[in-house]
Structure 1
Amino acid sequence: MMQQKPDRNKNEAILSDLKDGWRLEELQKANQEFKEARLAALNLMEDALLSEQALRQSEARYRFLFDNIDQGVQICELVRNEAGGVTDLRSIHVNPAWMNIAVGGQGIVKAAASLHAQDQPWFRYCEQVKENGAPARFETKMSEEQWLDVFVTQMEGDRFMILLTDITDRKRHDINQSFLAYCSVALLKAASLKDMVDAIGENAHTYLGATACTFLRVEEDQDTLQLIAGWEEVSQPLPAGILQLSSLVNHKSLGQLSQAIPLILQQAGVEPTVPTNPALGLMRTALYVPVVRDQQIRYILCIYHTNPYHWFNDQVSLLTELAGRAWNKLARLEAEDKLKASEENYKAIVNQSVSGIFKISIEGQILFTNDYFAKMLGYNREELLRLTVKDIVHPSDLDKTFAGFNSMIESGQPFEVEKRLTRRDHSVIWVTNYAAPLFDSRKQVVGALVVSVDISRQKAVEQQKDEFISIASHELKTPLTSVKAFGQLVQQTSKEGNAEELADMISRMNLHIDRLVNLVGTILDTTKLERQEYSVNLEKLDINELISEKVKENQLAAPHFRFVFNPCERAWIYGDKISLGQVLNNLISNAVKYSPHGSTITIDCGYLENTIKVCVTDEGIGISEKDQEKIFDKYYRSVGLLESGRSGIGLGLYLCGEIIRRHNGVIGVSSILGTGTTFYFTIPSIN
């Protein structure tokens, strides 16, 4: 037992030593772990400090980049109401570039910087980006002088970033180039000065906001201006007609224009209600761009605005270049307009000519005709252009036509020919053709220009004259022969001493002499009329008395007819007794000549509307409607007269018509073929 205790104590001592060793080891291990933990903590603190420093540096770099980029940047957030609806757009942060672009000296309202307005375009685009989940980009015109490129993207939730880029210079360049391109195309397509100016004006309105555009031509005196074409969006008084450049601009400005330097004109003050500046009219602003050639101003391009307008240098340069491009087109179009006007005048002269004018090829094809020539032949122009010379020339005159044409081709000299042409209705007219050769660039004859004068009436008159000479010779020969025969009988009878037979012969001879005297008198009076030498001596006459006298004379000359005279109630006139007596004799003797023996000749006199109307009515052969139209023409003899075999020279009724017209009266005829005729005339009465 005594021996066991030491063993326990020993064990306890060993156990205590073991415990103490464990504690030390644990302590050492813990101490080591603490050291390691403290080192880790120190490392973490160092990493945190380094991270914070890096973050601060990153934020500094971000802020530096944010504040110094050229694009305007704004962080903004949608503002919602209690129901979740978007009511506004709140700005969180903007960079200086945004303030410079959106608020700076570009004419943008300051409200654009804060975006507190739902009418701003990017407000709607933020909602669109939110809805679609994709960024949006668009271009917007903030004023007349600024364009922006806008990019909108969503950051998180209702936050967005908006980037602004000022693209004014690029847009202005694009607009200027588009304007110049469209105007250049218009210059190529323009068929007239008006087309060209209209195109320039419309493009200037579209791209530059212009209200009007004009082109002024400067005359050789370098002062007179002529408006040659103009365009205006709305009706506004513009410089028009003939102006004086010296009255529009001062001497200094005139010198500037002479040196091809554009001139800007501004009308200060309130908007004008009446033109105060002749160079501007009711416009507020104008740009005068001169076109100078050979040190002289030839044209001035004028662009107008109704409102005050700031002209940029690039716009002035643009319009200067356009005016230069327009020079050749202007000169050519003006020359074409003058040529067109000349051609129109030529066509008007040709078509209004009283002569037929046509052009034919060397093969005889009709290439051109005026309206009068087509009317002469009874065709319209389109029909006539399908014909040839052979189709319109009378077959009997083709040989001499071709002979003259061939001679013209060989000699190159014009020729003249009288010939007949066949009309569409197959009737024939006489013409005198004056044909002049047409040459090509090699001086070869390729056709002819022909002036055709209708001489059908002249030919008819010549034929009537020939017939008149023949008839007049016969009419003169007959009484002269009779007078000569009766003279011989009188001579023989006077020797025989038969007084009664002698008196009868002398009476018959006097009738033939009277007939001869009347015939010669008619011819002489007609000659006086043609020479404008015939005159009437007006005096106060009783028409009843004159008619009664002439009825008695004709009753003695025509005892086999019954004469009835119905006088007027108021019968006073102013007239030439001899001339009116000649008319009455002619009408009554014609009634006797073309009526059967024993018939009645009625002479009526009546008062009608301040005139005296005298009618001579017979029961003779009558006159056709066709003959009635020409019965008072010189040398005309009706078909009934020719068929009846009765004599006449075609001057009596012509002379009657001229006498009545010189009494301010009217002469006419009414007749039905086969039932008689009434010739009448009216003369103003004395109230």
Structure 2
Amino acid sequence: MEDTKKLKEKLAHYEKENEDLKLKVEELTDFFENASMPLHWVDGEGIIIWANQAELDALGYAKEEYIGFPISNFHADQEVIQDILTRLTNNETLLDYSAKLQCKDGSIKHVLINSNVLRKNGKFVHTRCFTRDITEKIREDQRKSDFVSLVSHELKTPLTTISSYSQLLMKNTKKDEGINFQAATKIQAQAKKMTAMIHDFLNLARVEEGQIRLNEETFELYPLVEEITGDARILDTKHKVRLIDCEAVTLFADREKIGQVLMNLLSNAIKYSPMGGTITIGCRKQPGKVNIYVSDEGLGISKTDQKRLFERFYRVTNDKVKTIGGFGIGLYLVAEILRQHNSQIQVYSQEDEGSTFHFDLEMVISNKTTTFRF
């Protein structure tokens, strides 16, 4: 009799636990069903086995038009969906994976997918996918890119004309005629400065689109450095610019983009050394490579700011530099251009003691390029 009583008590306990578990499952199901973030599950064959209402609403499908169909039916890029399925069946977790989904009305949604895999006894059960719509951000970025490209193109035409006329004036004006030659020289230097800024904006647009390309060639570094420092000396009389040991350095790289790197570093050295001083562009030659550096005696950079210095649009905002203009793209582009050259920009700086930016490039020796890896 006592055993029967205990069995009944256990049975009642298990029934209560079972009801509690059912309630929790119902609550969890209701949570997922009504979640504001689009969710869907996909089995090992790539078939959608469940989707919440937010997912259906986002793409415009009814349940019977979406659940039970291959996920590939709703992806605009078949190579991407195949890559996703391969990764997931290999038990990889997707974090902010970029994809394009096809809506019922024919429009395309750009999304970031976060997904992981549910396995039971080591066997694949299904994936759980969360999608975040970034369509408007993609469109906004494209509008910005198109605007930058358009404005940059429109500015290049008059600047080319200004540069041509200034060169003509310099050619027809003797150096000893004073103000006329100096004015023409300054016009030419300012036109080059504006052209460099335009190149920065264009390169920014190309970097964001993943379309930056290198036109590599063999060239001597010293003439390029002389050209850049010559323009700087015309525009700036506060600073002394000196070159150290950059002769006999031959590179195989994109000459124009390496010029943009050096121009950005030199311009920053001038801007952030408001009291003047010496700016040095130097080279340290090593076996198979050269370390190129730009040093100044300016304001320096705090350790905190150094960590974010090469982020897009990041600018130091302390009281010492609040009057110094800029867009915060120069060093970002420097980092990207050097990354394309398998190199890396580095900085050493102490506040109130100046800064040194430096990077390595391969040198051409006996018409052969030696490879250096970080």
TM value normalised by structure 2: 0.50
**Larger RCO (alpha carbons 8 Å, 6+ apart):** 2
* Structure ID, larger Rg: 1
Q: Provide TM-score, normalisation by structure 1.
A: 0.29
